[in-house]
Structure 1
Amino acid sequence: MKRNINLNRRLFRQTGVAIIAALMVAALVASIAGLLMVRQQRALQQLEIRKDTAEARAATWSVLQLVRLTLRDDARAGQPDHLRKPWAVPIPEIKIENGAMSGRLIELNGRFNLGNLIDQNGQPVAAAWAAYPRLLANLGLPSNLADNLREYFVLHAVQQGEKKIWLPLIDGHELANVAGYTPEVIRQLEPSIVTLPVATALNVNFASPEVLAAWVPQLTVSAAEQALSKRRSQYFNSPADLIGHLPKEVQAQVPAQLLTVKSQYFWSEMGARFGKVLMQHRALLDRSKSDMPVVLSVQRMY
C-alpha cells in the first residue's frame, strides 16, 4: 500500500515537473515569437521611414531645381526685382501623392551684408564700418556691438607679410562667438543682416528703412520709411527713383554706387513631408555668375 502511495506521489511530481517545463517552454517560445514580431515591426517601420526619407529628399531636390529655373527665367527678363515678383510669394503646402511640399524664396540683397565690412584684400571698409553702428542703433541695439565685432576680426586676423588679413565671417551663426551677441540680439538682427561671400549692393525694392538709413548719414528711419513707402504702389526702376523721394538735404550723401534694383543672392527654403518624415532645407543661391543660379550651400534646418 505504501509503495503504491509513494509511486503515485512520484508520478504526480514528475507530471507536475513536466507540466511546468512545458509551460516554461511555451512561455519561452511565446517570448521569442513576440520578440521576433516586434523586431519585424521595427524593421518594417525603419524601411517605411527610409522610403519616406528618400521621397522627401527627392521632393526637396525637385523644388530646388524648380526654384533655380524660376530665377533663371526671371533674370532673362531683365526687369527690376521687387516684392511683387511671383517668386517673392511663398508657396503654401501642396499635397502630392503620399506627401506634401512647400517652399519660399528669401531675397538677400535687401539686407545689410556683413561681407561688405571687409574688402577682397582682407582690409576693413570704412564706409561699411560707419554704417554698421547706425544699423545697430536703428534697430535699438547697443552701438558698441560694432566694436566687439571689429575686435573679433582683429583677433582672428592672419599675418601676411607686413599686413594683417581680416577673415570674413563664414555665416551669421558665427556671430554667436562674438561678445555681446546673445541669442536675443542675433534674433533681433537676423531679419536685417546676411553674410554673403562677396560685397553686394543694396536692392532698394527690398531694403528695410533701418538698413537704408544705416547707409545714408543723417537719414532718419522715419524719412527712409516715408521714401520707401512709394514702392507699395510702384516699385523703383532705378536707385535714382528712390533718391528722388529722399529729403533734399541728404540726397548728396546717398552712396548711389551701393544701391541697385537687382537681386543676385537668395535663400531657397524647401519643405517636404512624407509619412512621419518632415524635412526643411535652406539653400544659398547665387545667380550673379552664370545663367543658371549656382547652389553655394545647402543646410538642413530640421
Structure 2
Amino acid sequence: MSPPPSDRRPKSPDRAGCDRQSGAAVITAMLLVAIVAASASSLLVSMDAWIEHTELARDKAQATELGRNAITYARLLLATDARNSASDTLLEDWARELPPLRHEGAEIKGRIADLQGRFNLNNLRHASGVIDEQAYDAYLRLLTVLGLSPELADTLADWLDADDSRRAHGAEAADYAETRQNSNGIGRPLTNTGELARIRGYTPAIVARLQEHVSALSGIQAVNINTATPEVLSALQPGLSLSAARALADTRRTLPFRDAADFRTRLNDPSLPNSLIPISAASAHFLIQVTVDRGRARSRVLSLVKRQNDTSLPRILWQSIL
C-alpha cells in the first residue's frame, strides 16, 4: 500500500525566508535587551562607585577640617598655659590625653607631646658645625641606658660634623664615607628623627627604640626636666643611675621641678657635676597629633609648634596632613 498523503505542504521559498527573518529579529531583540540590561547594570555600578567616592571625599574633607580646628584648639590651650604658668609639667591640662571626643558624627583623638622632654640630637652639633663633646657624652650615656651600641653615637656625630671628621672605624667608617659622599644632607643638623634611618647602624628597630627619647629640633635646646623620661634624665646628669632617675621622676607627680637649681638640690648630692646639656623647667616646642575618623575616612594632622615669649598662639613650624 502506498503511504497516505501528507497534510503538510512544502514551504515555499518566500515563507522560509520570512521565518528566518523573524527568528533573526527575535535574537536581535534579545541581544539588545541584554546589552541594555548590561549597560544599565554597569551604569548603576558606576553611579554607586561615584557616590561612594563623593561621600568618601566629603568625609575626608570634613575630617581634615575638624583636625585643623583641633590643632587650633591645642595651640590655644598652650597659649593659655603660658599665661598661667612659668613651667611645663606633666600635671598640666596640655599633657593630659583626653578620651575620644565625638562631634558631628566624627570621632576625634588628640595629644600634645613636649619635644623638649626628649634629647635633641642636634645638641651634638655647635652652630659652627663642630661636635659638642659634652652633648656627645650625654648621648653615649643615653645609648648605654637603652642597651644600644655606643657606635651609634660615632656614626651620628660623623653625619652631623661639618668638618668631615671620622669617629667610626673600620668597615663602619668606609660605609659611612661612601654614604656621606653620595648624600646632600650631611654635615647639617637633622630636620627630623626620620633621617636617622639614613645613618649607618640605625635600623628601623633602633629608630623605634629611640623615638620616645629623642627629637630633632633646630639649634641647641634645653631638656625639660619636668617632662623628660628617666632614661634622658640619667643620660644628661653624670652620677645619676637609671633607678635613681626613675625615683626622681616619680617625685614630679606631686612636686614638679621649679627650675634647674631645684633639680640639682633634689639630687641630694652636691658633689655631682653639672648636667652635660642645658636643662630647664619650661618648654617651647610641642608636637600636636590629631586623628579624626568620620565615616570610612580618616585624617591625621601633625603639627610642630613653637610657643613664643608672649601669649600669642604658638607658631606652626610645620604641619602634615595624612
Normalising by structure 1, what TM-score? 0.90
Which residue of the partner structure matches residue 143 of structure 1? 150
SS of equivalent to 1:173: helix
Distance 1:296 1:204, change over 3 A: same
Q: Displaced runs of 4+ in structure 1, greater than 3 A? A: 5-9, 154-158
1:234-279 Cα offsets, whole Å, 9 max, x none, are 111122222122141653x123981111011111001111111011
Name the counterpart of 2:290: 270
Letter in 2 for 1:298: Q
* 1:267 and 1:282 in contact (8 A); partners too: yes
Q: Which amino acid aligns with 2:303?
A: A
The Cα RMSD (Å) is 2.2
Residue in 1 that maps onto 2:177: none
Whether 1:93 and 2:100 are equivalent positions in the alignment is yes
**Compared CA separation, residues 156 and 268, structure 1 to 2 (3 A):** farther
Identify which range, 146-155 or 181-190, moves more after superposition.
146-155
Q: Judging changes above 3 Å, is the alpha-carbon distance between structure 1 residues 21 and 237 closer, same or farther for their aligned structure 2 residues?
A: same
Instruction: Give the one of 38, 42, 55 matched to 2:49.
Output: 42
Match of 2:237 in 1: 216
1:55 is matched with which residue: 56, 62, 65? 62
- Separation in 2, partners of 1:209, 1:46: 48
Q: Distance in 1 between matches of 2:292 and 2:198?
A: 32
- Structure 1 residues 251-270: aligned runs within 5 Å: 251=272, 253-255=273-275, 258-270=278-290
- In terms of mean alpha carbon deviation, does 1-10 or 71-80 score higher? 1-10
- Do structure 1's residue 295 and structure 2's residue 320 form an aligned pair? no
> Secondary structure of 1:60's partner?
helix
Distance 1:8 1:168, change over 3 A: same
- What one-letter code is carried by the residue in structure 1 that aligns with 2:220? A
Pick closer, same or farther for the CA change 1:40–1:52 going to 2, 3 Å: same
**Structure 1's 14 and 250: CA in aligned 2 closer, same or farther, altered over 3 A?**
farther
Q: Please identify, of 132-141 and 289-298, the stretch whose mean Cα deviation from structure 2 is larger.
A: 289-298
Matched, 1:78 2:80: no
| Pair 1:236 & 2:257 matched | yes
Q: Secondary structure at the match of 2:287?
A: strand
Q: Which moved more, 1:260-269 or 1:86-95?
A: 86-95
Question: Does structure 2 retain, via aligned residues, the 8 Å contact 1:113–1:200?
Answer: yes
State the SS of the aligned residue for 2:127: coil
SS of the equivalent of 2:263 reads helix
What percentage of aligned pairs have identical amino acids? 31
Which residue pairs with 2:305 in the alignment? Answer: 285
Report deviation, 1:7: 4.0
Contact residue 236 and residue 277 of structure 2 kept, 8 A: no
Structure 1: gaps of 5 or more residues? 159-164
**Whole-Å Cα distance in 2 between the matches of residues 166 and 145 of structure 1?**
16
Would the aligned equivalents of 2:125 and 2:160 in 1 still touch at CA under 8 Å?
no
* 1:192 counterpart = 2:213: yes
CA contact (8 A) 1:268 1:283 kept: yes
- Normalising by structure 2, what TM-score? 0.85
Q: 1:276 & 1:218 partners in 2: Cα distance? A: 52
